[in-house]
Amino acid sequence: MIQFEEALEIVLKSSKTLGVEHVLLNDSLNRVLAEDVLTDRDLPPFNRSAMDGYACRRADLKEVLEVIELIPAGQSPTKRVDKHQCSKIMTGAEVPVGADCVIMVEQTEKVAENKIRFTAEDTMNNIAYKAEDVHKGDIALKKGTLIQPQHIAILATVGCSNPLVSKQPTVAILSTGDELVEPELNPGPSQIRNSNAYQLIAQVRNAHCNPLYMGIAPDDPAKTKAMITKALEKADVLLLTGGISMGDFDFIPATLKEVNIEIKFQKMLVRPGSPTIFGIGKNKWIFGLPGNPVSSFVVFEMLTKPLLSLMMGKNTGIMNIKLPIADNYKRKKTDRLNWVPVNINSNGEATMIDYHGSAHIHSLCFADGLMTVPYGTSEINKGELVDVRPL
């Protein structure tokens, strides 16, 4: 039985990326950039009006101005703005030579045909200047960026219509145990519906990977071995739930060894999730997760998800926030690292919620995060800072 920090180090050190591929821009959401994306032009590419108005010289703001042309967005100015002149300009249009500010339409009045006057006391320049955002050749987006809608806008702006991204791991999910039936079926005596698999499928999708559900393996070593072998043929990562502890039907560890999986650890000093297996094959990663739903959920978030992030070429995604605890917390056993579901209240405090243990999956529906209770800690006093992993 090893401490969680050692287990996490073993898992992360095993990571490998799976190669790269080009995808269409519209298919790039939640993919990870595999190279820096450079800007192919200055941004903005020219001095651009930030609003509808009149481009003029600041020195002439107190004078009557002659309107010499109309400049729509997408068309270049044809005339220079000189003394006592202005050009009517639309938002996004190129500012003409000679003008150093744009005055708002709302701050002008027409005094004659093609003549206007500025009616305010002063104005901002209202110009987005050439290259004030990015210079041509600069890095617009860095390798390892998880592409979100705002990044897609940048990719489109710089003409990167087929970004190079890391390949996404395919993650097989295989539940074990004769007590399980699929959600659409009515459980028989001593049976339960298979919630873990569908929970994990959703967690894999949230981790921006490809889930592959392999079904329920019965309590039969030969049939389970065949299903594990098939899963390893189809996927990069295999998640098994159940069958990994010390019961008469917990033969998963032995089966994994039969299919040439090297088991790196089988237990962690944590609660929930102590009976967790991690193994490695040839470009294969296997997690044996506990059968209790809170345990499988938590171990995925704390151990599996960081590995998947590294395999896609990004950082681990591990982020804990420091929050004051809203009430005193006590526990009796202190030999393990505990993760406790908490709510974050309107004061930014970690608040305990009703939690009955690793089978109480309903508690997570009300949780904003998981509070870490370190080894050896029996009490945490109200107001003390705790680490919370947001969910």
The structural architecture, per CATH, of the domain 4-16+167-311 is: 3-Layer(aba) Sandwich (3.40)
- Nearest CA to 240 out of 283, 276, 284, 193 is that of 276
Which residue's structure tokens are 């509070």? Answer: 371
Domain extents for the chain? 4-16+167-311, 22-41+139-165, 48-128, 321-390
Vertex 278: Cα angle to 276 and 279 (nearest 5): 150
Look-up of token digits 């505990």: 338
Please answer whether residues 323 and 349 qualify as being in contact, where contact means their C-beta atoms are separated by less than 8 angstroms. yes
pLDDT at res. 359: 85
The reported pLDDT for the residue numbered 187 is 94
CA-based nearest residue to 296, from 241, 360, 368: 241
Tell me how far apart the terminal alpha carbons of the chain are, to the nearest angstrom: 27
Phi-psi region of 230 (alpha: psi -120 to 50; beta: other; left: phi over 0): alpha
Hey, what CATH class is 22-41+139-165 in? alpha beta
Q: Which of left, alpha, beta for 144 (phi over 0: left; psi -120 to 50: alpha)?
A: left
How many CA atoms lie within 13 Å of 284's alpha carbon, on the beta-carbon side?
22
- The CATH number that domain 48-128 falls under is 2.170.190.11
Residue 267 to residues 2, 264, 372, Cα–Cα distance (Å): 6, 10, 18
Report DSSP state, residue 60.
G
Query: H or E element: which one contains 202?
Result: helix 195-206
Tokens of 304: 């599996």
Q: Of all residues in the chain, what percent carry a pLDDT higher than 70? A: 98
HSE (CB half, 13 Å, CA atoms) of 46? 14
| Contact between residue 298 and residue 273 where contact means Cβ atoms under 8 Å apart | yes
Paired strand residues for 216: 175
Q: What pLDDT score does 242 carry?
A: 84
Rg (CA), the chain: 30
Q: Give pLDDT < 70 ranges for the chain.
A: 244-250
What's 321-390's CATH class? mainly beta
CA gap 89, 73 in Å, rounded: 8
What is the C-alpha to C-alpha distance for residues 299 and 151, in angstroms, rounded to an integer? 30
Q: Report DSSP state, residue 326.
A: S
Long-range contacts (CB closer than 8 Å, 24 or more residues apart) made by 132-140: 132/44, 133/43, 133/44, 134/39, 134/42, 134/43, 135/39, 135/42, 136/39, 136/40, 136/41, 136/42, 137/38, 137/39, 138/38, 138/39, 139/36, 139/37, 139/38, 139/39, 140/37, 140/38, 140/39
Block residue for tokens 């009517």: 88
Candidates 245, 256, 357; CA nearest to 298 is: 357
Which token pair is 28? 């790039």
Q: What is the C-alpha separation between 138 and 111, in angstroms, rounded?
A: 46
